[in-house]
Structure 1
Amino acid sequence: MCGRYANTKSGEELGAYFEADEVDAVAMPPSWNIAPTQQVPIVVDRVPKDDPDGMPSRLVTAARWSLVPRWATELASKYPTFNARSETVTEKATFKNAVVRSRAILPADGYYEWHTVDGPSGKPVKTPHWITDPVEGELAFAGLYSWWRPPVAEGAEPEPWVLTATMLTRAAHGPAASIHDRAPVMLLREAWDTWIDPTVEGDAALVDMVVAESETVLERLELHAVAPLRGDGPHLIEPV
């Protein structure tokens, strides 16, 4: 799983890196300690509303990190939806519709994972690690998105739509497997276009493809132990 990560790049920087056509005018402050339900940057491709056969355009925008399907009656979920297991994502009601045409990239400088061992007293001791890609310097997590708003009562004004997102996870591989058994699915640059293209109908085969390709990124990751995550700032990624 991945429950904490960092993004310190502005929307404009992400737009240039991911070759976006547009960057939404939304606040994307740098954070070294992004947590579920917070706003995070995402990259999506969209088909023009007035031209369904037109070329998709790429947008950098912000979404709530924890996907809420359109049919849900509440924004808060009884179970975590900030991660979606790649092995079952096409089967789970919460995620399967988004796989078809609502796929996204969640950009990150890096992410955190905790290594758990038994301490001297027998209680588990968890040590956070900072994990990055030394080749690209940027991670592109395979994600999904969904628009949601509360059900509209008769005679009431509808509330605004909320954009929500999740990231796919897989069995860990490479250096990060030494500390945890799960890892985010990380897209190769060559896979960006296909993954977020809304004209490509997503299915289990597409998910399996990006999962398999992600091993290239997983094999080159670097990691080091860091202090317990408290607050926010660049000090959180300093090695201990």
Structure 2
Amino acid sequence: MCGRVIVDYEENMDVAADSALAEWVLGVPDGARSSWNVKPTEAIPIALTSAKDGRRRFELARWSLVPPWATSLASKFPTFNARSEGVAEKRTFAGPLRHQRCVVPVSGFYEWSGPKGARVPHAIFGSEEVLPMAGLYSWWRDPALEGRDAWHLTATILTRQSAGVMAGIHERMPVFIADELVREWLDPETSGDQSLVDAVSAEAVPIAEHLREWTVRPLRGDGPELLEPAD
């Protein structure tokens, strides 16, 4: 699973000029701030292509997908991650999968290993400055509000069985998206189905083999000092 991410806009969010994602990740989303301890329900950056007008957008979204029919932002079950296996059959995620797919570009993330009560956090980074993850997004309208304030952009990160470096840390890992699949994944005219998810998930394996990781101290507060290796 993926329950904490790192987003450093000042140091580690420079997308390579020849990356497909560079067409979406331009500047910094309004209201964004760097954080080394982003938690579910907090803001994460997402790249998407509007299904309405085809415009490429780089926005902040609430990290926990809320389907349009939900009665509130608070969910009875966690939706910050979505299992890639069988995701097309899940009511909460099937709709967004068809035409509301996104990429979540982060600087890195954390995962924990070890038994309950003695879990050890690991800081994990990719081979490039930005580690892109496949996600889904949804708009939720608050019936108590009017106008633009009523609309909330929400998102989830897809996960799969761990491979590569992640295999020795946790049984699940994010679905890292390969550069050659970014345009298809972000094209709302491509109707998303399980076969598309499976193709993207399969290409996450080579990326996982080149991750960098080290253990850190328990996560308390926020700041770059959280990345200091544990003694």
Please report the TM-score for the alignment, with normalisation by the length of structure 2: 0.90
Q: What does residue 178 of structure 1 align with?
A: 168
Q: What does residue 8 of structure 1 align with?
A: 8
In the alignment, which of 128, 132, 139 is matched to residue 125 of structure 2?
132
Which runs of no fewer than 5 residues in structure 2 stay unpaired?
Answer: none
Q: Match for 1:26: what amino acid?
A: D
After TM superposition, give the deviation of residue 48 of structure 1 in Å.
5.2
After TM superposition, give the deviation of residue 217 of structure 1 in Å.
0.5
Query: How many positions carry a matched residue from both structures?
Result: 225
In the alignment, which of 216, 223, 232 is matched to residue 213 of structure 2?
223
Q: What does residue 159 of structure 2 align with?
A: 169
After TM superposition, give the deviation of residue 103 of structure 1 in Å.
0.2
CA RMSD of aligned residues (A): 2.2
Deviations 1:132-156 (A, max 9, x none): 112x22110100000001346xxx8
Q: What does residue 52 of structure 1 align with?
A: none
Whole-Å separation in 2 of the counterparts to 1:26 and 1:110: 21
Query: Which structure has the larger Rg over C-alpha atoms?
Result: 1
Sort the Cα spacing of 1:223 and 1:197 in 2 relative to 1 into closer, same or farther, 3 A: same
Q: Match for 2:182: what amino acid?
A: W
Instruction: State the secondary structure of the residue aligned to 2:88.
Output: coil
Sort the Cα spacing of 1:35 and 1:186 in 2 relative to 1 into closer, same or farther, 3 A: same
Q: Match for 1:142: what amino acid?
A: A
How many percent of aligned residue pairs carry the same amino acid? 46
After TM superposition, give the deviation of residue 18 of structure 1 in Å.
2.4
Whole-Å separation in 1 of the counterparts to 2:185 and 2:29: 24
Q: What does residue 105 of structure 2 align with?
A: 107
Q: What does residue 120 of structure 1 align with?
A: none
Whole-Å separation in 1 of the counterparts to 2:81 and 2:122: 19
Q: How does 1:69-88 map to 2 (within 5 A)?
A: 69-88=67-86
Whole-Å separation in 2 of the counterparts to 1:227 and 1:24: 29
Whether the 8 Å contact between 1:23 and 1:61 is mirrored in structure 2 is no
Q: How does 1:13-162 map to 2 (within 5 A)?
A: 13=14, 18-20=22-24, 26-47=30-51, 49=53, 56-117=54-115, 124-134=117-127, 136-151=128-143, 157=146, 160-162=150-152
Whole-Å separation in 1 of the counterparts to 2:218 and 2:25: 38
Deviations 1:111-163 (A, max 9, x none): 1000013xxxxx631000011112x22110100000001346xxx85661100
Q: Match for 1:103: what amino acid?
A: R
Whether the 8 Å contact between 1:23 and 1:59 is mirrored in structure 2 is no
Whether the 8 Å contact between 1:15 and 1:21 is mirrored in structure 2 is no
Deviations 1:43-83 (A, max 9, x none): 0012554xxxxxx3321111000000001111100100000
